[in-house]
A and B are shown apart, each in its own frame.
Chain A
Amino acid sequence: MSGIEIGAATTPSIRLRRKIDLAVQPYAQSCRTLVTHPRLADFWPQFLLTQHQIIRATVPLTEAAAERADKMAAADPAASGLARYLKEHVKEELGHDDLLLDDLELLGVKRATALSRIPSPTVASLVGAQYYWIHHHHPIAFLGFVALMEGHPPTPKLIQTLISATGFPHAAFQTLTEHGELDPGHRDRLYRTIDALPLTAEHETLMGISAMHSATLLPPTIEEILEQG
Protein backbone atom coordinates (compact mmCIF):
# COMPACT_ATOMS: atom_id res chain seq x y z
CA MET A 1 0.00 0.00 0.00
CA SER A 2 2.93 2.31 -0.59
CA GLY A 3 2.20 5.67 -2.13
CA ILE A 4 -0.40 6.74 0.45
CA GLU A 5 0.33 10.07 2.00
CA ILE A 6 -0.79 10.34 5.58
CA GLY A 7 -2.09 13.48 7.16
CA ALA A 8 -3.46 15.08 4.03
CA ALA A 9 -7.13 14.32 4.67
CA THR A 10 -7.06 13.89 8.43
CA THR A 11 -6.83 16.23 11.40
CA PRO A 12 -4.97 15.81 14.69
CA SER A 13 -8.21 14.93 16.49
CA ILE A 14 -9.07 12.25 13.94
CA ARG A 15 -5.60 10.76 14.23
CA LEU A 16 -5.90 10.74 18.03
CA ARG A 17 -9.36 9.17 17.89
CA ARG A 18 -8.05 6.41 15.63
CA LYS A 19 -5.25 5.63 18.07
CA ILE A 20 -7.76 5.50 20.92
CA ASP A 21 -10.08 3.23 18.91
CA LEU A 22 -7.16 0.86 18.53
CA ALA A 23 -6.10 0.91 22.17
CA VAL A 24 -9.52 0.88 23.85
CA GLN A 25 -10.53 -2.57 22.53
CA PRO A 26 -9.15 -4.54 25.53
CA TYR A 27 -11.01 -2.24 27.92
CA ALA A 28 -14.19 -2.80 25.94
CA GLN A 29 -13.64 -6.53 26.37
CA SER A 30 -13.11 -6.07 30.14
CA CYS A 31 -16.33 -4.04 30.37
CA ARG A 32 -18.16 -6.79 28.51
CA THR A 33 -16.87 -9.32 31.06
CA LEU A 34 -18.06 -7.13 33.93
CA VAL A 35 -21.47 -6.30 32.47
CA THR A 36 -22.28 -9.92 31.65
CA HIS A 37 -20.90 -11.30 34.92
CA PRO A 38 -23.52 -13.15 36.99
CA ARG A 39 -22.27 -11.29 40.07
CA LEU A 40 -22.38 -7.82 38.51
CA ALA A 41 -24.44 -6.48 41.42
CA ASP A 42 -21.74 -7.56 43.87
CA PHE A 43 -18.98 -5.95 41.82
CA TRP A 44 -20.79 -2.74 40.83
CA PRO A 45 -20.17 -0.71 44.05
CA GLN A 46 -16.46 -1.57 43.87
CA PHE A 47 -16.40 -0.54 40.23
CA LEU A 48 -17.94 2.81 41.14
CA LEU A 49 -15.43 3.25 43.98
CA THR A 50 -12.62 2.79 41.48
CA GLN A 51 -14.26 5.22 39.06
CA HIS A 52 -14.54 7.73 41.90
CA GLN A 53 -10.86 7.35 42.73
CA ILE A 54 -10.10 8.26 39.12
CA ILE A 55 -12.52 11.15 38.64
CA ARG A 56 -11.81 12.80 41.97
CA ALA A 57 -8.49 13.71 40.33
CA THR A 58 -10.02 15.20 37.17
CA VAL A 59 -10.44 18.79 38.35
CA PRO A 60 -7.11 18.95 40.23
CA LEU A 61 -5.36 17.45 37.19
CA THR A 62 -7.01 19.94 34.85
CA GLU A 63 -6.07 22.83 37.13
CA ALA A 64 -2.48 21.61 37.27
CA ALA A 65 -2.33 21.35 33.49
CA ALA A 66 -3.87 24.82 33.07
CA GLU A 67 -1.39 26.35 35.49
CA ARG A 68 1.57 24.76 33.70
CA ALA A 69 0.21 25.79 30.30
CA ASP A 70 -0.15 29.37 31.54
CA LYS A 71 3.49 29.37 32.60
CA MET A 72 4.59 28.05 29.19
CA ALA A 73 2.34 30.32 27.15
CA ALA A 74 4.85 33.10 26.49
CA ALA A 75 7.26 30.75 24.73
CA ASP A 76 4.91 28.05 23.42
CA PRO A 77 2.25 28.87 20.80
CA ALA A 78 0.13 25.83 21.70
CA ALA A 79 0.15 26.49 25.44
CA SER A 80 -2.05 29.60 25.58
CA GLY A 81 -4.91 27.95 23.65
CA LEU A 82 -4.47 24.86 25.76
CA ALA A 83 -4.76 26.90 28.97
CA ARG A 84 -7.97 28.52 27.72
CA TYR A 85 -9.50 25.13 26.94
CA LEU A 86 -8.47 23.66 30.30
CA LYS A 87 -9.97 26.51 32.32
CA GLU A 88 -13.32 25.85 30.63
CA HIS A 89 -12.86 22.12 31.13
CA VAL A 90 -12.61 22.64 34.90
CA LYS A 91 -16.13 24.13 34.81
CA GLU A 92 -17.36 21.14 32.78
CA GLU A 93 -16.08 18.67 35.35
CA LEU A 94 -16.82 20.38 38.68
CA GLY A 95 -18.89 18.30 41.09
CA HIS A 96 -18.86 15.03 39.14
CA ASP A 97 -16.94 13.26 41.89
CA ASP A 98 -19.56 14.34 44.42
CA LEU A 99 -22.32 13.06 42.16
CA LEU A 100 -20.64 9.66 42.10
CA LEU A 101 -20.48 9.66 45.91
CA ASP A 102 -24.25 10.30 45.88
CA ASP A 103 -24.70 7.21 43.67
CA LEU A 104 -22.55 5.16 46.02
CA GLU A 105 -24.56 6.30 49.04
CA LEU A 106 -27.72 5.01 47.35
CA LEU A 107 -25.96 1.65 47.15
CA GLY A 108 -25.12 1.77 50.86
CA VAL A 109 -21.52 2.98 50.63
CA LYS A 110 -20.97 5.94 52.93
CA ARG A 111 -18.96 8.92 51.66
CA ALA A 112 -16.38 8.52 54.43
CA THR A 113 -15.91 4.87 53.50
CA ALA A 114 -15.46 5.72 49.83
CA LEU A 115 -12.95 8.47 50.56
CA SER A 116 -10.95 6.35 52.99
CA ARG A 117 -10.30 3.49 50.59
CA ILE A 118 -6.67 3.32 49.44
CA PRO A 119 -6.56 3.73 45.66
CA SER A 120 -4.84 0.86 43.89
CA PRO A 121 -1.41 1.21 42.30
CA THR A 122 -3.21 0.93 38.95
CA VAL A 123 -5.34 4.00 39.68
CA ALA A 124 -2.31 5.88 41.03
CA SER A 125 -0.38 5.01 37.86
CA LEU A 126 -3.25 6.07 35.61
CA VAL A 127 -3.63 9.47 37.24
CA GLY A 128 -0.03 9.89 38.36
CA ALA A 129 1.39 9.59 34.86
CA GLN A 130 -0.61 12.67 33.90
CA TYR A 131 0.92 14.69 36.73
CA TYR A 132 4.37 13.62 35.57
CA TRP A 133 3.82 14.65 31.98
CA ILE A 134 2.12 17.90 33.02
CA HIS A 135 4.86 18.99 35.40
CA HIS A 136 7.94 17.49 33.78
CA HIS A 137 7.26 17.52 30.04
CA HIS A 138 4.24 19.22 28.46
CA PRO A 139 0.61 19.61 29.63
CA ILE A 140 -0.64 18.84 26.11
CA ALA A 141 -0.27 15.18 27.21
CA PHE A 142 -3.38 15.65 29.36
CA LEU A 143 -5.54 16.10 26.26
CA GLY A 144 -4.81 12.48 25.33
CA PHE A 145 -6.16 11.37 28.72
CA VAL A 146 -9.22 13.59 28.37
CA ALA A 147 -9.90 12.32 24.84
CA LEU A 148 -9.81 8.73 26.08
CA MET A 149 -12.02 9.42 29.08
CA GLU A 150 -14.57 11.57 27.22
CA GLY A 151 -14.83 9.08 24.37
CA HIS A 152 -17.43 6.29 24.24
CA PRO A 153 -19.94 7.88 26.65
CA PRO A 154 -22.42 5.46 28.25
CA THR A 155 -25.52 4.96 26.13
CA PRO A 156 -29.08 4.86 27.53
CA LYS A 157 -29.25 1.21 26.41
CA LEU A 158 -26.14 0.33 28.40
CA ILE A 159 -27.43 2.12 31.49
CA GLN A 160 -30.75 0.28 31.23
CA THR A 161 -28.86 -3.00 30.90
CA LEU A 162 -26.92 -2.19 34.07
CA ILE A 163 -30.09 -1.28 35.97
CA SER A 164 -31.78 -4.51 34.90
CA ALA A 165 -28.76 -6.69 35.63
CA THR A 166 -28.01 -5.24 39.06
CA GLY A 167 -31.51 -4.51 40.29
CA PHE A 168 -30.24 -1.18 41.63
CA PRO A 169 -32.48 1.91 41.34
CA HIS A 170 -32.16 4.24 38.34
CA ALA A 171 -31.26 7.03 40.77
CA ALA A 172 -28.01 5.23 41.57
CA PHE A 173 -26.90 5.63 37.95
CA GLN A 174 -27.09 9.41 37.93
CA THR A 175 -23.38 9.85 37.17
CA LEU A 176 -23.49 7.52 34.18
CA THR A 177 -26.71 9.13 32.93
CA GLU A 178 -25.27 12.61 33.19
CA HIS A 179 -22.05 11.62 31.44
CA GLY A 180 -24.04 10.02 28.66
CA GLU A 181 -25.72 13.37 28.12
CA LEU A 182 -22.74 15.70 28.65
CA ASP A 183 -19.72 13.81 27.32
CA PRO A 184 -20.60 14.08 23.61
CA GLY A 185 -20.63 17.89 23.85
CA HIS A 186 -17.44 17.93 25.91
CA ARG A 187 -15.80 15.56 23.44
CA ASP A 188 -16.74 17.71 20.45
CA ARG A 189 -15.33 20.83 22.10
CA LEU A 190 -12.14 18.92 22.87
CA TYR A 191 -11.75 17.81 19.25
CA ARG A 192 -12.36 21.34 17.99
CA THR A 193 -9.70 22.58 20.40
CA ILE A 194 -7.17 19.94 19.34
CA ASP A 195 -7.71 20.82 15.67
CA ALA A 196 -7.37 24.54 16.34
CA LEU A 197 -4.15 24.37 18.36
CA PRO A 198 -0.81 24.85 16.54
CA LEU A 199 0.31 21.32 17.32
CA THR A 200 3.64 19.81 16.33
CA ALA A 201 4.19 16.15 15.45
CA GLU A 202 5.73 15.72 18.89
CA HIS A 203 2.60 17.11 20.57
CA GLU A 204 0.50 14.59 18.65
CA THR A 205 2.78 11.73 19.65
CA LEU A 206 2.63 12.80 23.29
CA MET A 207 -1.17 12.95 23.26
CA GLY A 208 -1.22 9.51 21.62
CA ILE A 209 1.16 8.02 24.18
CA SER A 210 -0.83 9.57 27.03
CA ALA A 211 -4.13 8.20 25.70
CA MET A 212 -2.74 4.77 24.87
CA HIS A 213 -0.85 4.45 28.17
CA SER A 214 -4.07 5.26 29.99
CA ALA A 215 -5.89 2.67 27.87
CA THR A 216 -3.40 0.00 29.01
CA LEU A 217 -4.32 0.74 32.64
CA LEU A 218 -8.11 0.68 32.30
CA PRO A 219 -8.56 -3.11 31.83
CA PRO A 220 -6.68 -3.90 35.07
CA THR A 221 -9.04 -1.62 37.01
CA ILE A 222 -11.80 -4.13 36.21
CA GLU A 223 -9.68 -7.28 36.28
CA GLU A 224 -8.50 -6.43 39.81
CA ILE A 225 -12.11 -6.11 41.02
CA LEU A 226 -13.07 -9.45 39.51
CA GLU A 227 -9.96 -11.17 40.88
CA GLN A 228 -10.64 -9.95 44.42
CA GLY A 229 -14.09 -11.52 44.16
Chain B
Amino acid sequence: MATELPPHVKKYLDDMEVSADALPQDAWETFASLSGGEILLLRKLRKDLEKADVDVVIKVH
Protein backbone atom coordinates (compact mmCIF):
# COMPACT_ATOMS: atom_id res chain seq x y z
CA MET B 1 0.00 0.00 0.00
CA ALA B 2 1.26 3.46 -0.90
CA THR B 3 2.42 5.72 1.87
CA GLU B 4 3.42 8.59 -0.38
CA LEU B 5 2.11 10.09 -3.58
CA PRO B 6 3.52 8.73 -6.84
CA PRO B 7 5.72 11.15 -8.84
CA HIS B 8 3.09 11.66 -11.60
CA VAL B 9 0.55 12.68 -8.96
CA LYS B 10 2.99 15.00 -7.18
CA LYS B 11 3.75 16.71 -10.48
CA TYR B 12 0.06 17.11 -11.29
CA LEU B 13 -0.69 18.66 -7.91
CA ASP B 14 2.36 20.94 -8.27
CA ASP B 15 1.14 22.02 -11.71
CA MET B 16 -2.32 22.71 -10.25
CA GLU B 17 -0.65 24.58 -7.36
CA VAL B 18 -2.35 22.28 -4.86
CA SER B 19 -0.48 21.35 -1.72
CA ALA B 20 -0.60 17.63 -1.03
CA ASP B 21 -0.31 18.38 2.67
CA ALA B 22 -3.50 20.45 2.51
CA LEU B 23 -5.59 17.67 0.99
CA PRO B 24 -8.18 15.97 3.20
CA GLN B 25 -7.34 12.34 3.84
CA ASP B 26 -9.96 10.94 1.43
CA ALA B 27 -8.73 13.24 -1.34
CA TRP B 28 -5.14 12.26 -0.58
CA GLU B 29 -6.06 8.59 -0.82
CA THR B 30 -7.89 9.19 -4.08
CA PHE B 31 -4.92 10.96 -5.65
CA ALA B 32 -2.54 8.32 -4.34
CA SER B 33 -4.55 5.68 -6.18
CA LEU B 34 -4.60 7.47 -9.56
CA SER B 35 -2.64 5.92 -12.39
CA GLY B 36 -0.70 7.93 -14.94
CA GLY B 37 -3.58 7.44 -17.39
CA GLU B 38 -6.11 8.77 -14.93
CA ILE B 39 -3.95 11.83 -14.22
CA LEU B 40 -3.75 12.45 -17.97
CA LEU B 41 -7.55 12.47 -18.08
CA LEU B 42 -7.72 14.98 -15.24
CA ARG B 43 -5.31 17.18 -17.18
CA LYS B 44 -7.55 16.82 -20.24
CA LEU B 45 -10.46 18.24 -18.31
CA ARG B 46 -8.40 21.44 -18.05
CA LYS B 47 -10.28 22.49 -14.97
CA ASP B 48 -9.11 23.17 -11.48
CA LEU B 49 -10.22 21.11 -8.53
CA GLU B 50 -12.90 23.55 -7.48
CA LYS B 51 -16.10 21.80 -6.49
CA ALA B 52 -19.20 22.39 -8.58
CA ASP B 53 -22.81 21.84 -7.58
CA VAL B 54 -23.46 18.24 -8.61
CA ASP B 55 -27.15 18.56 -7.77
CA VAL B 56 -27.59 20.10 -11.19
CA VAL B 57 -26.06 17.19 -13.13
CA ILE B 58 -28.48 15.98 -15.83
CA LYS B 59 -27.95 12.65 -17.53
CA VAL B 60 -29.83 9.47 -18.01
CA HIS B 61 -28.61 5.95 -18.59
Interface, chain A (partner B; CB < 8 A): 1-8, 10, 15, 18-19, 21-29, 31-32, 34-35, 47, 51, 54-55, 58, 93, 96, 100, 146, 149-150, 152, 154-155, 157-158, 162, 175-176, 179, 183, 186, 204-205, 208-209, 212-213, 215-216, 218-219
B interface residues with partner A (beta carbon < 8 Å): 1-4, 20-21, 23, 25-30, 32-35, 37-38, 41-42, 44-45, 47, 49-61
In the complex, 24 of the A-B residue pairs with CB atoms within 8 angstroms, ordered by the A residue number, are: A4-B25, A4-B29, A4-B32, A5-B1, A7-B1, A15-B29, A18-B29, A24-B57, A28-B54, A29-B47, A31-B58, A51-B59, A58-B61, A96-B60, A150-B61, A152-B54, A152-B55, A152-B59, A154-B57, A179-B60, A179-B61, A205-B35, A209-B41, A218-B59
Contact B42 A212 (CB under 8 A): yes
Q: Is the interface of A mostly helix, strand, loop or mixed?
A: helix
Question: How far does the alpha carbon of A208 sit from the alpha carbon of B34 in the complex, in Å?
Answer: 8
With a CB–CB cut-off of 8 A, which chain B residues contact A215? 41, 45
- Bound Cα distance A127, B27 (Å): 29
Contact, CB under 8 Å: B53 / A1: no
Interface contact A2-B30, CB-CB below 8 Å:
no
CA distance A54 to B59 in the complex (A): 10
With the chains together, A15 CA to B58 CA distance in Å?
23
Beyond A1-B20, A179-B60, A208-B38, list 18 extra A-B contacts (CB 8 Å): A2-B4, A5-B1, A5-B2, A7-B1, A7-B29, A15-B29, A18-B27, A19-B30, A21-B54, A23-B41, A26-B52, A51-B59, A58-B61, A152-B54, A154-B58, A155-B55, A186-B61, A218-B59
